[in-house]
Structure 1
Amino acid sequence: MFRSFLFISQIYPYGRMSHHFSKLQVGDSLSVRGPKGRFLYRPGAVKALGMLAGGTGLTPMFQVSRAVLENPKDSTKIYLIYANVTYEDILLKEELDNFHRKYPGRFSVHYVLEKPPNDWEGSVGYISKELIQSFCPAPSPDIQMLRCGPPMMNKAMQAHLDALGYSKETQFQF
């Protein structure tokens, strides 16, 4: 079966696949498998989604956000904390900012940069327990916390969520 889709990738100097991806041209084909993992979202199943994303880990968060926000029957609120190394690494920034403008009170995004520019107004460093506490919904059975990023980030985010009292049932890692 052939399907076309939007493919987002960052090119990293030492990335395993980056050099291969950097040589692809528009119109080239690529065989892929996946997606890995099973996240099933049902509209209105929770009152809020907290999302912790790093780098290209934004991809499933963006897809879920778009599906939730574009469903007029779904009132789920979304709280995204999105971490990157530099400003230039932020994927889909314009689209995320448009979600924030178009769906006030339903979608919020907070950016975190490890190496910010001088005029940066977002957070600096990494996603911390304090940031999660400040920008995401509090632990509750009627919220879901999603995370996706590099392995070390996922491990740290799980530890933060556990320490803050989010139950295993309310956490999902892509």
Structure 2
Amino acid sequence: MDALLALVDGDFRFPDGGKMSQYLEHLAIGDTIEVSGPKGKLSYMGKGEIHIKHRPRDVVPEIRKAKKIGMIAGGTGITPMLQVVRRALQDPEDKTEFYLLFANQSEGDILCREEIEAMAAAHDNVHFWYTVDRAEKNWQYSVGFVSADMMKKHLPAAASDVQIFMCGPPPMLKFAVLPALEELGFTPDMHFSF
């Protein structure tokens, strides 16, 4: 199993760091932890086919097809996006286009940046754009919260063969992403929140 860990140093909101970071920091080499999952409701089957189980007891998934998949991630919300893109890139015949809009507080907070940029450099069907709250000098991407304008520039337009996946802090999704998707003409059957 692959795991993505981000140890969070203290800041004004969490002076001692996050709870999980504090726990992991005190583990000794050789200690083990028990994890479960993934137990996701969405499965990327390949070649643009997406299966979604809306409730755990659903036996038959809703099946969606997409030629283009837009992805909006905030912080550690990048993890399910990477899983989908990695799955697609395992099949050279999967020509689905992926567009990632990745929001973070600062450039240093961008998880898996080298992998994201390497995937885009090696595959014409993978595209990415970053936005941060606090930019360093010479930052070449966006600054600020995810907006409808940013989505219009860096994600595919609403269409029957387009799906948008999103994962990030609930306030980001509720107050920024979902209203922007609606403004841009995306209907609920065109997007999925992890």
Q: TM-score, normalised by structure 1?
A: 0.90
Q: Tell me: CA distance 1:28–1:158, structure 2 relative to 1, closer, same or farther (3 Å).
A: farther
Distance 1:27 1:172 in 2: 38
Give the equivalent residue in structure 2 for 1:31. Answer: 34
Residue aligning to 1:109? 128
1:125 aligns with 2:122: no
3-state SS in 2 of match to 1:79 = strand
Separation in 2 of the partners of 1:116 and 1:173? 27
Which amino acid counterpart does residue 170 of structure 1 have in structure 2? M
Q: TM-score, normalised on structure 2?
A: 0.81
Runs of 4+ in 1 over 6 A off after TM superposition: none
Aligned counterparts, 1:91-102, within 5 A: 91-102=111-122
Q: 1:43 to 1:158 in 2, by over 3 A?
A: same
Which among 29, 41, 45 is matched to residue 44 of structure 2? 41
Gaps of 5+ in 2: 50-65
Matched residue type, 2:132: L
Deviations 1:130-156 (A, max 9, x none): 011111111112111000111111212
Aligned residues: 170
The residue that corresponds to 2:193 in the other structure is 173
Between the aligned residues of both structures, percent identity stands at: 36
Q: How does 1:12-27 map to 2 (within 5 A)?
A: 13=10, 14=14, 15-27=18-30
Please say if 1:161 is aligned against 2:161.
no
Quick one: which amino acid aligns to residue 149 of structure 1? Answer: G
Higher relative contact order (CA 8 A, sep 6+): 1
Q: Say if 2:105 is the partner of 1:74.
A: no
Which letter does structure 2 place at the counterpart of 1:171?
A: H
Aligned AA (1:42): M
Distance 1:25 1:83, change over 3 A: farther
For the residues of structure 1 that align with 2:40 and 2:8, how far apart are their CA atoms? 24
- Compute the displacement of 1:28 (Å): 2.9
Higher strand share: 2
Note if 1:51 corresponds to 2:71: yes
Q: Bigger radius of gyration, 1 or 2?
A: 2
Amino acid aligned to 1:99: M
